[in-house]
Amino acid sequence: MTRRSRRTSGLGKDLLDVAAIPRGEIEYLLTLAARLKDKQRRGLPHPLLQGKTLGLLFQKPSTRTRVSFEAGMNQLGGHALVLPMGDIQLSRGESVADTARVLSRYLDGIVIRTYNHATVEEWAAEATMPVINGLTDLSHPCQALSDLLTIREKKGRLRGLKIAYVGDGNNVANSLIEATAKTGMTIALGCPSGYQPDQHVIDRARLEAAGTGAAIELGHDPQIAVKEADVIYADVWISMGREREQARRLKVLAPYQVNARLVGRAKPDAIVMHCLPAHRGEEITEEVLDGPQSVIIDQAENRLHMQKAILTRLLGKRKQRAS
């Protein structure tokens, strides 16, 4: 049997998906991230996690997730320790349970970036330290939370806005659906048949949306999805682990490219977002990616500030183990 760990904050012990975060906690994280960003911009030290150590265990390549967590932990006065899979005994058959229990004695928290979502759930069940989902095939909660921060910065609010997600209904789409349902936004999805987001995520988010005034609009036509949108969102068509499907995906998703013509169907002041890395000329054109409506670099920067808010919230309340 797995053990249930005590709750340490409004987030609970862990951060595995956006759906499990209370609405008020999302607002708290957004406010905290904005404050931490202001402190950094003003050159004010904020060693809120002095003496804490974060583990980073990545089974998938990463740029923004790894660097933002590592840099963020250092800026908070703590230390980040990268754990290459090939260098630890998990790669030689040690169980997740044994690894999680031991590392909980060494670390104050861990970020897991892996394929199967059940893997991070197993880590969370076995570890007594906080477990943060750095990305699975089902969900990318840290990305979606930082995207909310960017949208609120650019638009001054979240409730009542419309975000159009165009392309492959992947893990990022799933987490954006959960995030918009929590914050009273409308999300309109233009995804081809067979490439729509997870149905369980949609069903659960619709229950949440009923209490916030949010709306989830599913469709196959990107032209309809972007109509009157405040935000247009694109992501890669060939996610990690889907490389063998490249030829078929490129053919099916070709009509879903975010280009100047598609952006022109949204509101004139719509912003364009992409979680990166981008395949220029595939899911988004270079003209749009580098254009005046693009906020992708600000969006990428905000990964750092939201990561710091998440770390402060989860690790900051974990009691130091007595010597």
Annotated binding site: 62-65, 89, 113, 140-143, 171, 235, 239-240, 275-276, 303
Residues 6+ apart with CB under 8 A from 266: 164, 226, 227, 228, 229, 230, 232
3-state secondary structure of 187: strand
Distance CA 215, CA 188 (A): 8
Catalytic residue among 66, 113, 249, 313: 113
If you ran DSSP here, which 8-state letter would residue 204 be given? H
Q: Are the beta carbons of 214 and 208 closer than 8 angstroms?
A: yes
Catalytic residue among 14, 117, 137, 143: 143
Catalytic residue among 140, 152, 249, 274: 140
Distance CA 230, CA 74 (A): 35
Catalytic residue among 117, 152, 257, 275: 275
Catalytic residue among 235, 249, 299, 307: 235
Residues making up the binding site for L-ornithine: 171, 235, 239-240
| 117 tagged catalytic | no
Q: Are the beta carbons of 187 and 231 closer than 8 angstroms?
A: no
Residues 6+ apart with CB under 8 A from 33: 146, 149, 302, 305, 306, 308, 309
| 113 tagged catalytic | yes
| 79 tagged catalytic | no
| 303 tagged catalytic | yes
Residue 109: closest CA among 311, 321, 309: 311
| 143 tagged catalytic | yes
Distance CA 270, CA 263 (A): 8
Distance CA 205, CA 199 (A): 10
| 275 tagged catalytic | yes
Residues making up the binding site for carbamoyl phosphate: 62-65, 89, 113, 140-143, 275-276, 303
The angle subtended at Cα 120 by Cα 6 and Cα 96, nearest 5°, is: 90
Q: Which residues are catalytic?
A: 113, 140, 143, 235, 275, 303
